[in-house]
Amino acid sequence: MINWMFFPKSDQPPTLCRKVVSVFEKHETSIGSGKHTLSSNQVLSEIAGDLEALGFAVESGKKRTEKVSVPVLFGKNGKIDKLFEVDAWHREERVVVEVEAGRAVVNNQFLKDLFEACMMQGVDVFCVAVRNTYVTAGKSHPDFDRVIAFFETLYASRRLQLPLRGILVLGY
């Protein structure tokens, strides 16, 4: 089952976010963490065509020309000084998508992704996809629930104001 939640919880998700959810739902039988232990690259490869059909630029490999780069800082003569690479970026709708697998929570990768999304120019909505359940060493970890709990705390505390219009968390 594909799970999702949009933050802040007081806002409806943008139409494009609903379409991203639909992409994951369409591929649930081939990517769902209840049956599969795919890497993040394998999941991205499975959904890439549908994201591209929505207008996203999608990472297609590890070569520089196959990556999707979003500018962060600009220097002399407007030259990009710093950029971050993302799994998918919809430039017009200002939405980035990151797909994570095993290290999403264990290594706090979702937090690194959040930080980077906050620094990117031309990004208003951050979508992060994590496994519903991550199994390692015979132990099951509820990654989606842990990420949701983190964002619920972040938004409820109101101690940190993010420069994003919203965050979509997907559990696959």
Torsion of CA 9, 148, 16, 113, to 10 degrees: 120
Number of residues written out for the chain: 172
Task: Tell me the one-letter amino acid at 126.
Answer: F
* DSSP states along 118-131: HH-TT--EEEEEE-
The whole domain housing 26 covers 3-171
Query: Which DSSP letter does residue 162 get?
Result: -
Tokens of 72: 């962060």
d(Cα 143, Cα 133) in Å, to the nearest integer? Answer: 6
**Per-residue exposure over 53-84, b if at least 16 CB sit within 10 Å of its own CB, e if not:** ebebbbbeeeeeeeebebbbeeeeeeeeeebb
What CATH number is given to the structural domain containing 69? Answer: 3.40.91
Q: What pLDDT, in 10s, does the model give residues 67-125?
A: 999 999 999 999 999 999 999 999 999 999 999 998 899 899 999 999 999 999 999 99
Tokens of 94: 């200002």
Predicted confidence at residue 33, as pLDDT, reads: 94
Q: What pLDDT, in 10s, does the model give residues 43-55?
A: 999 999 999 999 9
Grouping H, G, I as helix, E, B as strand and the rest as coil, residue 23 is helix
Domain tally, the chain: 1
Q: What pLDDT, in 10s, does the model give residues 148-161?
A: 999 999 999 999 99
Q: Let me know: does 115 contact 36? Beta carbons within 8 Å.
A: no
d(Cα 109, Cα 96) in Å, to the nearest integer? Answer: 15
Backbone angles phi and psi of 6, in degrees to 5: -110, 140
